């Protein structure tokens, strides 16, 4: 019976890799970009973007502090046009 479970697991991972892996990666990228936009809209004054209501930023600050360094690095990183989607196989 263990060999049937092993092959079942292998088949499940293979089908996931063929059908769902790219979708899952794209969903993670979309979530990261939405999170970046949210943090920029709330804490944009750290980068020099004028934000009018700092009250909400102060209320959310305790939950965002662990992500601020990586957010700054990701936002201020120099990128070329289209560098976000260079590894996608779209349609292949």
State the pTM of this model: 0.53
Instruction: Give dist(CA 83, CA 73) in Å, integer.
Output: 16
**What are the tens digits of pLDDT across the range 17-50?**
888 888 888 898 898 888 888 888 777 777 777 7
Residue 73: alpha-carbon gap to chain centroid? 14
pLDDT at position 91 is 56
Handedness of CA 49, 78, 31, 89 (dihedral sign): positive
Instruction: Give dist(CA 61, CA 1) in Å, integer.
Output: 52
pLDDT at position 90 is 57
**What are the tens digits of pLDDT across the range 45-91?**
777 777 766 677 777 778 888 888 888 887 777 665 555 555 555 55
Domain ranges of the chain: 2-78
* Tokens linked to 64: 């965002």
pLDDT at position 9 is 92
């Amino acid at each position: 019976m263990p060999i049937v479970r092993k092959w079942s697991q292998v088949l499940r991972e293979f089908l996931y890799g063929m059908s769902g892996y790219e979708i899952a990666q794209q969903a993670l990228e979309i979530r990261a970009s939405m999170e970046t936009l949210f943090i920029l809209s709330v804490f944009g004054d750290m980068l020099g973007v004028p934000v009018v209501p700092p009250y909400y930023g102060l209320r959310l600050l305790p939950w965002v502090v662990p992500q601020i360094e990586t957010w700054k690095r990701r936002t201020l990183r120099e990128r070329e046009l289209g560098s976000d989607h260079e590894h996608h196989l779209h349609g292949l």
